[in-house]
Every structure is written in structure tokens, then in C-alpha cells.
Amino acid sequence: MSSFNKIKFRPFLFSILLSLIITSSVYFFLILYFENYIGFFILFALTLLISFVFITLYLKFFVSKKVKDILEQLIPEQKISGQTLISTNMEDLVEQLKNYSKESQTEMKSMQEKENFRRNFIGNLAHELKTPLFTSQSYLLTLIDGALKDENVNLKYLKIAEKAIERLIFIVKDLDLITKLESDDLKIESTDFNIISIVNNVFEMLEIQASKKNISLILENKTKQINVFADQEKIHQVLTNLIENSIKYGKVDGTTELSIEKIIDNKLIIRITDNGNGIKKEHFERLFERFYRIENSGNRNTGGSGLGLAIVKHIIDAHNEKIYVESDFGVGSEFSFSLEKSN
């Protein structure tokens, strides 16, 4: 029997039992004045009915009123302000309490998750900022303490400090961008453009970085023009972040291949594939979190802000498109995202 049926049945049963007890208690008094059994049974039935009605009304209105008062005290006013009435039906009251309990548990879980995310984010941000700040400070203090006069090290130390400050600027810029993306301050301005041209531009920009590890940048599509409808600047950044990550964490003498395929008539999928170290499956769910780094990519000497994939995810989401990850640990990875094909 369900809890709601029990709630309905128990007051009914209680009313009958109590009515029987009350009626039986006056049985001995009634039998003294009624020798006619028919009259006795009529009076007995009327007494039972009246007792049952009054007890039922008492349970329904008085007890339910008390439960309603308890409900109003338990549930905050803002939770019930939208309701014109609070039901006096016991089933509805219990349902409201259950719903409020579930909502409260969900809210508490959400608050705990947000608090954990906030704590992790602040810790990661502090770590990311601390490294370039301390690096630049230590080299500048060394120069102030006398190394500035040493021509063998002064320029070297200044360049190291400059690189640390440059990395700090990257972090701040990416934080500003991702904040705007999350708050919808940064609008998507979609236009028709040739994505092949953007890919070639990114390849040229990252060619020197790729050559340091002898990584080949390959565009599989032979056609010179594939038009898409999207925000050109933002998609340029998406491609830059994904290809740059592929180079950073790719293996020496490896490859980074980009291909563009048609999914359906008006949709394309852009794939960036490498033969690097790959990613373990347990990291997939957190890959796009701010500053999240997998075990094998925890080396911060590779540079960057640690926000690249988070920015990519926000930009693709802002286009109402999807991004996918496939990877075999030790074999390589593939990041792909969909885009609307231009007519």
C-alpha cells in the first residue's frame, strides 16, 4: 500500500474504532431503556454514524490545520508565496513536504558543488598567478641587488622576467574573456567566411612552435574554400587553442591533422587529431574545467593560461554547437566540433 493510501486509510480506520468504543461505552446505559432490539440498533447506528462524522471532521480540519501550520513554519515563505492556498488535504501536505525536502537536498548538493568548484578555482588561479609573479619578482630583485651591472646576466634576467609577465598577461586576458563569455557580455556575431583560410592562418601562426618539436601540421582537405556561418574571430580562437594544445602535448616528430567533413546538409564537423600521449578516460568529464590539468600535462613550463579548453567550450556552446573528445591513452587524441555550413 502506498504512503498516500495509508494516510487516507489510517484516519478512516481510527475514526471507526473510536466511534465503536464510544458507542459501546454507552451500550450498557442504552440497553436499560430499550427493550426493543430494533430501536436499540437504530439508536446504536445513529450514535456510531454521528461519532464517526464528528471524529472524521476533527481529524480532517483540526489535525490537518495543525499540520498545515507546521508546513508553513518548515517551508520558507518564498517557497509558498506563489500558491494561492496551502492544501488542507493530508496527501497534498505530505507531497509538498516531500517536494520541499527533495528541493532542499538538491540545493544543498548544488551549493556544495559550487563551493568545491570555487575552492578549486581559487586554488588553481592562485597557483597559476603565483608562478609568473614570483618568477618576475625574483629576477627583478636580483637585478636590483646588483646583477643589473653584470652585462653577462642582466639582459637574460630581464627577458625571463618579461616572459613571466607575458604569461601573467595571458592568464588575465583569458580570465577576462571567459568571464565575458559566461556572463553573455561577449556576443556572437556570425558571418559567412572561408574556414580553410582561417585554418591556414592558424597553421602559419603556429608553424614555428610546431617546428621546435618537428610536428607536422596537415590539412587533409584539398579544396581551397569551405564556407561556414559563425563568429570568425571566435572560431579563429577555437582553432588556435585546439591546435596549440595539440602541439604542446604532442610528441616529438609527431603530426597534427585537421579535417573538415560534412555531417548533414547544413552541418560540418572539424576534427583536430594528433598522435601524442593521449588522455585517460577518467579525465574526459573535467577536461573543459578552468585550470584543470591531467596528470601527464601538469608541467606548466609549456606556458599558456590553463583556460584554453574552457574558452573553447564556451565559444562552441555560444554557437549552439557541440564539441567532442576521443582519445586512446598512449596513442593520440581527437578534438572535434560542429559548425553550421554557409549557404
Give me the CATH number covering residue 132.
1.10.287.130
Region of 337 please: left (phi>0), alpha (psi -120 to 50) or beta. beta
CA distance 319 to 340: 9
Phi-psi region of 254 (alpha: psi -120 to 50; beta: other; left: phi over 0): beta
Domain that holds residue 62: 3-88
Task: Say what the pLDDT of residue 39 is.
Answer: 58
Q: How many domains does the chain have?
A: 3
Decide if 316 is inside a domain: yes
The answer to whether 297 and 306 are in contact (CB under 8 A) is: no
242 and 328: one domain?
yes
- In this structure, the number of other CB atoms found within 10 A of the CB of residue 79 comes to 14
- What's the rounded Cα separation, in Å, for the pair 36 and 39? 5
Q: Is residue 196 part of a domain?
A: yes
Q: Which of 141, 159, 182 is the last residue of a domain?
A: 182
C-alpha cell at 288: 573543459
160: amino acid identity, one letter: I
> Is there a single domain that holds both residue 178 and residue 280?
no
* Domain contains 101: no
The predicted structure's pLDDT at residue 85: 42
Final residue before a domain boundary, out of 182, 211, 236: 182
Among 167, 147, 166, which Cα is nearest to 157's? 147
Residue 161's SS3 state is: helix
Query: For each successive 10 residues of the chain (343 residues), what is the average pLDDT?
Result: 50 63 61 57 66 67 65 58 47 66 74 68 70 83 84 84 79 75 74 94 90 92 90 91 89 92 90 88 80 56 66 89 89 92 84
Residue 150 sits in the same domain as residue 226: no
Distances (CA, A) of 175 to 264, 290, 306: 35, 9, 10
At residue 144, the pLDDT reads 87
CATH number, position 263: 3.30.565.10
Q: Where are the alpha helices (DSSP H) in the chain?
A: 3-25, 27-33, 37-57, 64-74, 77-80, 90-144, 154-182, 195-211, 232-248, 308-318
In whole angstroms, how far apart are CA 141 and each of 130, 135, 147, 342? 16, 10, 9, 55
Buried b vs exposed e over 8-40: b needs ≥16 C-beta within 10 Å?
eeebeeebeebbeebbeeeeeeeeeeeeeeeee
- Using DSSP's 3-state secondary structure scheme, residue 135 falls into helix
What is the Cβ-side half-sphere exposure of residue 203, based on CA atoms within 13 angstroms? 17
How confident is the model at residue 291, as a pLDDT? 72
- In the block, cell 593521449 appears at 278
pLDDT value for 91 = 61
